[in-house]
Amino acid sequence: MKKKIIAIILGCVTAFGVLSGCGQGVETSSTSSENTNNELVFVNYRDIRDLNPHLYAGEMYAQSMLYDTLVSITDDGYEGCLAESWTISEDGRIYTFKIREGVTFSDGTVCDANAILANFNAIIENKERHTWLEMMNLLVGVSAPDENTFVIELSEPYYPMLTELGCIRPFAMISPNCMINGSTKDGVNGYIGTGPYVLTDFVTDEYAVFERNENYWGELPAIEKITVKVIPDNQTRIMALESGEIDLIFGKNMLDADAISQYVDSEEFSVSLSEPTSTRHIVLNTTNDILSDTTVRQALQYATNRQAISDGIFYGLEEPADTLYAKTVPYCDVELTPYEYNADTAAQMLDEAGWTMGSDGIRQKDGKKLELELLYNSDSVTEKTIAEYLQSEYLKLGISINIHGEEEQSYRDSMKAGNFDMVFNICWGMPYDPQSSLAAMRAPVYGDYAAQLGLADKAEIDAAITEILTTTDETERQELYSFVLTRLHEDAVYIPLTYECNKALYTSDLQGVHFGTDQYDVPFADMYFQ
């Protein structure tokens, strides 16, 4: 069974967001009328979608139930999964995996090195889609010398290699029988894996049913059947839990602070919070005429009251963020001077940058008003709330912010294209950070690349990131990380807001609820009813 990060359990929260106490859920009788000792009813805001593990449209919790990867990422390092063991060549370029014997896909197909090779060939065929993972850019070739051996060769050493191979997508293994002419890039004809569960029923926008894979190679989970109901509305999900229709609400976007605060003292339900998973922040586009000035960007940092956002919007459940990555993230415990909230400092810096207060209360310079647009995901009530708060606060300093919401896909497209002044974003979180999100800054994969194009030291930052990913010297790697994180901090490209955490609310007789190394995984295989 995969080892998991220990959950931080929320003991109690006052109206002002003060946390105290910790412990697992209280033993009590279940309120659920639907569960038995081996059935669990879960809820999600949308259906499972396309579960092709080599693409990105499906729900990751569902893909994790169906599929396995070569290795598992744990809080103690890496453990064998479909690969029983592995060796790395002295030069760090060749990885040789011993494939676990006796494993079959749920359709009966043997999962040997040849099946692994078929999966990698399918992934490589769609290589351009996966270049956000630096490993794909360094890949020389893959081979299966025999049915128990699988080999990956890189052009250069790459320290996050095992981390990326442990990511459920695109490196989870699907039965070759599900591929269409040996390919997965244009779809699959089934969702067959080697994981602890199989998909047995599915109705779009209504529900999905997963049942235990009785031929699973690992320890069989206690929960035999998991039904996932689709309930888009937050309040309706809460009512479903209270009525016993569902047993578990899990995920950082599935519960708001109000809901959490209502149940911390409940005997019928338990609440759990994880350690920080990612950073909620605003990206500033340095190609914008106004934001090209470092002084203006730094003024916005000082103008942002992170503590007020933490207390007023998140009841203290999300701690104020001083830096782009939390210090708990590997290599990110770097001494950086936070931009402490100070409206007077912000005003003084804007004055020094030549932005003087106009008669209408909006600062001006060379006949141009200090006006910016803040883009947010219209599907996120939280982002809209933060945007409205910042709009009001910045206006007090003579900064006019127009807030604009776009549907998720449009929002992401605008971000990638650099069509924004300011935009909400979230770090990728563990296990992808810091290496994957930093690597993606060097190409137009997401909004970071476009936002940083106006930086004078952009080329230097990119070169350091490239060196980070290939160096085999641990001391040098930490020094390079410190350099990059310091540059980005001083360049003030990102306004950190709060450190996100994962959340769970569930009936108290459900045990084994905790959080894994991947914030998108739901560890159903470890859960059981008491």
Q: Higher confidence at residue 139 or residue 23? A: 139
Residues 164 and 257 in one domain: no
Residues 296 and 252 in one domain: no
| Domain assignment present for 2 | no
Cα separation, 222 vs 219, whole angstroms = 9
| Torsion of the alpha carbons at 218, 219, 222 and 224, rounded to the nearest 10 | 30
Give bridge partners of residue 79 from the DSSP assignment. 72
Residues 253 and 391 in one domain: no
Task: Give the CB-side neighbour count of residue 425, counting CA atoms within 13 A.
Answer: 27
Residues 401 and 321 in one domain: yes
Residues 230 and 111 in one domain: no
Token pair of 450, please?
């476009």
Q: Higher confidence at residue 17 or residue 299? A: 299
DSSP state for residue 104 in the 8-state scheme:
B
- Tell me what pLDDT residue 264 has: 86
CATH number, position 91: 3.40.190.10
Q: How many domains does the chain fold into?
A: 3
Of the residues 126, 153, 188, the one at which a domain ends: 188
Of the residues 133, 159, 188, the one at which a domain ends: 188
- Tell me what pLDDT residue 132 has: 84
CATH number, position 455: 3.10.105.10
Is residue 30 pLDDT above 70, yes or no?
no
Comparing 31-35, 63-67, 194-198, the range with the smallest average pLDDT is 31-35
- Tell me what pLDDT residue 32 has: 40
Mean of the pLDDT values across residues 395-413?
95
Residues 178 and 162 in one domain: yes
Categorize the per-residue pLDDT at 308 as very low, low, confident or very high, splitting at 50, 70 and 90: very high
**Mean pLDDT across the chain:** 91
| Domain assignment present for 130 | yes
Comparing 106-120, 258-272, 388-402, the range with the smallest average pLDDT is 258-272
| Domain assignment present for 292 | yes
- Tell me what pLDDT residue 262 has: 86
Task: Give the CB-side neighbour count of residue 17, counting CA atoms within 13 A.
Answer: 17
Domain that holds residue 73: 60-188
Cα separation, 122 vs 134, whole angstroms = 18
| Domain assignment present for 1 | no
Mean of the pLDDT values across residues 139-144?
97
Cα separation, 528 vs 224, whole angstroms = 10
Residues 516 and 434 in one domain: no
Is residue 5 pLDDT above 50, yes or no?
no
- Tell me what pLDDT residue 195 has: 98
- Tell me what pLDDT residue 1 has: 40
- Tell me what pLDDT residue 36 has: 52
Q: Which residues have C-beta within 8 Å of that of residue 43, sequence separation ≥ 6?
A: 228, 229, 230, 231, 237, 240, 241, 246, 248, 249, 254
Residues 176 and 139 in one domain: yes
DSSP state for residue 515 in the 8-state scheme:
B
Mean of the pLDDT values across residues 57-76?
94
Residues 310 and 437 in one domain: yes
Residues 446 and 434 in one domain: yes
Token pair of 375, please?
């883009």
Comparing 129-133, 152-156, 203-207, 498-502, the range with the smallest average pLDDT is 129-133
Is residue 300 pLDDT above 70, yes or no?
yes
| Domain assignment present for 86 | yes
Categorize the per-residue pLDDT at 317 as very low, low, confident or very high, splitting at 50, 70 and 90: confident
| Domain assignment present for 388 | yes
Burial of 480 (0-12, 13-18, 19+ CB in 10 A): buried
Categorize the per-residue pLDDT at 515 as very low, low, confident or very high, splitting at 50, 70 and 90: very high
Quick: pLDDT tens for 431-485: 889 998 999 999 888 899 999 999 999 999 999 999 999 999 999 999 999 999 9
| Domain assignment present for 463 | yes
Residues 328 and 258 in one domain: no
Residues 67 and 178 in one domain: yes
| Domain assignment present for 55 | no
Of the residues 188, 221, 252, the one at which a domain ends: 188
Q: How many helices (H) and strands (E) does the chain have?
A: 16, 26
Cα separation, 347 vs 344, whole angstroms = 5
